[in-house]
């Protein structure tokens, strides 16, 4: 569990870029789009899970950092003419830096206050995306230039798919290192008991601030991934509904576990599509169905699907 992840555990991740290169030849565009969306959400959800599931900090600001990642990546390319390979890490770092600045006052707050402060920050950021028209083009939306990497022009689903898959693999590998590192253990310690963690020599506030910043970097990377396959960014994408979606992915899948978060991401990422095809005339029902799913998940699977599977497996073994 602890120490660096073994090569045997990291090796399966190589499958992702391989699949990413192969699939665009075989799948219709729509499935590639769905794949891109789900992989992007996976990065977003894993980033939020580091903060919520691992460090136990209930924060809503994630979607704002995602927005900073999207607008940052696009604007660094448009305004500063940076190539994508510099623009995306630049935007992710910017998200991380803003995350760090927010975290310093925010980590003084606990539970409900932290949730509300970060909620307010997210809503404020969305307002900025709307109001700063000279940069973001406001509510009309910003046209994202097709990014290119070593001459490979993206901006559509088949072309972006391999890179999106590779980025997901890198993020998963980084998460494996992170969660098995000393910092990963410190995060769990802070979640379980701040007093006990402090007594064992963990710098509680520092750990929280770092968790906040790293989580913001993940969201920034997800923002960069978004610009690979989408050609349009609109402030509506960064609203409360989105943060609820990501939150439900984590909670339905299973807090604090990467496999759980991936399961939740796939399920809730595919759900709107399934509903659109099976409930064609019933679009108005979507919100209702979605709410019922959230409530039922909380009532019957408090540890998410992954927790449920693990408990069943343990029950079979004994």
Taking CB under 8 A as the criterion, the residue among 12, 177, 291, 312 binding another protein is 291
- 295 near another protein, rule: CB under 8 A: yes
Taking CB under 8 A as the criterion, the residue among 255, 262, 263, 268 binding another protein is 255
- 132 near another protein, rule: CB under 8 A: no
Piece of the chain touching another protein by CB under 8 A; list 8-16, 34-42, 108-116, 216-224:
108-116
- 119 near another protein, rule: CB under 8 A: yes
- 298 near another protein, rule: CB under 8 A: yes
Q: Return the bridge partners of 153, or none.
A: 148
Q: For residues 246 and 267, what is the distance between their CA atoms, to the nearest angstrom?
A: 12
Of 117 and 187, nearer to another protein (C-beta) is 117
Taking CB under 8 A as the criterion, the residue among 80, 85, 86, 116 binding another protein is 116
Of 39 and 52, nearer to another protein (C-beta) is 52
Of 61 and 74, nearer to another protein (C-beta) is 61
Q: For residues 65 and 63, what is the distance between their CA atoms, to the nearest angstrom?
A: 5
Q: In the stretch 265-284, what mask flags binding to another protein with x, by CB under 8 A?
A: -------------------x
Of 113 and 232, nearer to another protein (C-beta) is 113
- 140 near another protein, rule: CB under 8 A: no
In the complex, minimum distance from the CB of residue 199 to another protein, in angstroms, rounded to a whole number: 15
* Region for residue 217 given its phi and psi (left: phi exceeds 0; alpha: psi -120 to 50; beta: otherwise): alpha
- 311 near another protein, rule: CB under 8 A: no
- 131 near another protein, rule: CB under 8 A: yes
In the complex, minimum distance from the CB of residue 78 to another protein, in angstroms, rounded to a whole number: 24
- Please work out, in degrees rounded to the nearest 5, the angle formed at the alpha carbon of residue 240 by the alpha carbons of 42 and 226: 40
Taking CB under 8 A as the criterion, the residue among 34, 58, 174, 275 binding another protein is 58
Q: Which residues contact 209 (CB under 8 A, 6 or more apart)?
A: 100, 103, 104, 107
The number of residues that bind another protein (CB under 8 A) is 47
Taking CB under 8 A as the criterion, the residue among 39, 211, 247, 263 binding another protein is 247
CA atoms within 13 A on the CB side of 9: 13
Q: In the stretch 205-244, what mask flags binding to another protein with x, by CB under 8 A?
A: ---------------------------------------x
Piece of the chain touching another protein by CB under 8 A; list 160-168, 211-219, 230-238, 250-258:
250-258
- Please work out, in degrees rounded to the nearest 5, the angle formed at the alpha carbon of residue 93 by the alpha carbons of 72 and 183: 145
List of residues contacting another protein (CB under 8 A): 52, 56, 58, 105, 108-113, 115-117, 119-121, 123-124, 127, 131, 191-192, 244, 247-248, 251, 255-256, 284-295, 297-300, 302-303, 307
């Amino acid at each position: 569990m602890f120490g660096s992840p073994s090569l045997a555990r990291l090796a399966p991740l190589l499958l992702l870029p391989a699949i990413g290169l192969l699939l665009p030849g075989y799948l219709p565009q729509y499935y590639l789009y769905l794949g891109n969306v789900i992989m992007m959400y996976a990065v977003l959800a894993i980033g939020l899970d580091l903060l919520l599931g691992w460090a136990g900090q209930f924060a809503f600001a994630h979607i704002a950092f995602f927005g900073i990642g999207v607008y940052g990546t696009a604007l660094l390319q448009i305004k500063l003419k940076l190539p994508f390979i510099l623009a995306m890490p630049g935007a992710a770092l910017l998200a991380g830096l803003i995350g760090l600045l927010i975290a310093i006052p925010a980590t003084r707050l606990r539970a409900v206050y932290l949730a509300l402060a970060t909620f307010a920050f997210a809503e404020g950021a969305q307002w900025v995306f709307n109001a700063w028209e000279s940069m973001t083009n406001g509510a009309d939306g910003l046209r994202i230039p097709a990014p290119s990497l070593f001459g490979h022009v993206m901006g559509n689903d088949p072309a972006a798919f391999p890179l999106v898959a590779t980025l997901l693999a890198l993020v998963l590998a980084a998460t494996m290192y992170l969660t098995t590192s000393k910092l990963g253990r410190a995060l769990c310690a802070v979640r379980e008991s701040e007093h006990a963690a402090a007594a064992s020599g963990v710098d509680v506030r520092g750990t929280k601030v770092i968790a906040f910043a790293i989580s913001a970097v993940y969201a920034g990377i997800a923002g960069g991934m978004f610009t690979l396959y989408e050609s349009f960014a609109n402030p509506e994408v960064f609203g409360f509904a989105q943060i609820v979606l990501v939150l439900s992915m984590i909670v339905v899948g299973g807090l604090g576990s990467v496999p759980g978060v991936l399961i939740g991401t796939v399920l809730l990422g595919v759900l709107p599509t399934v509903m659109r095809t099976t409930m064609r005339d019933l679009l108005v029902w979507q919100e209702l169905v979605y709410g019922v799913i959230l409530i039922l998940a909380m009532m019957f699977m408090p540890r998410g699907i992954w927790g449920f599977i693990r408990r069943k497996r343990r029950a079979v073994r004994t």
